[in-house]
Amino acid sequence: MAAVTYPDANVVGFISENMVPLQVLFDAQPLSTDFNVKWTPTIITLDPQGKEHHRTVGFLSPDELIPSLLLGIGKYYFDTDRFDEATENLERMLKEYPKSDAAPEAIFVLGVCRFKSTHDPKPLKAAYEKLQAEYPSSQWTKRADPYRLL
């Protein structure tokens, strides 16, 4: 990723504006053990306390790295019950990168986020229907399958 993805101007700008990057070798101790890093590249989205919220392993192109990072930011906000910020980041990811590999998970998490913030089950069913229509073989469509009954 050092030759292709990290030098990309969009990646540099996104990371500069939204992240605090730290590059660690996969065998650097104690961090590689503490964060269970077994392969490089492993990208982990952590909160300020060092708790993990999202992880990707392996090469990602610039057009896949940015949506993965946006998903990680959205999951951080979701995990900390900051549903407005989660919704904002997940919607941005889906608007700017609708065909990315991260999109199905973002749709799923967005549906759950909207449900948790409103206690209305309609967003869960809407998430399932969108997943079924656009990503029928995704694991996230399978995970959302019970929502079809709502």
pLDDT in tens, the chain (150 residues): 677 788 899 999 999 999 999 888 888 999 999 999 988 899 999 999 999 999 999 999 999 999 999 999 999 999 999 999 999 999 999 999 999 999 999 999 999 999 999 999 999 999 999 999 999 999 999 999 999 999
Give domain 9-149's CATH number out of 1.20.1600.10, 1.25.40.10, 1.10.10.10, 3.90.600.10. 1.25.40.10
Query: Based on C-alpha coordinates, what's the Rg of the chain?
Result: 16
Matching residue, tokens 């399932």: 128
The model carries a pTM of 0.93
Strand, helix or coil at 52?
Answer: strand
Q: What are the structural domain ranges in the chain?
A: 9-149
* CA–CA distance, 58 with 45 (Å, rounded to integer): 15
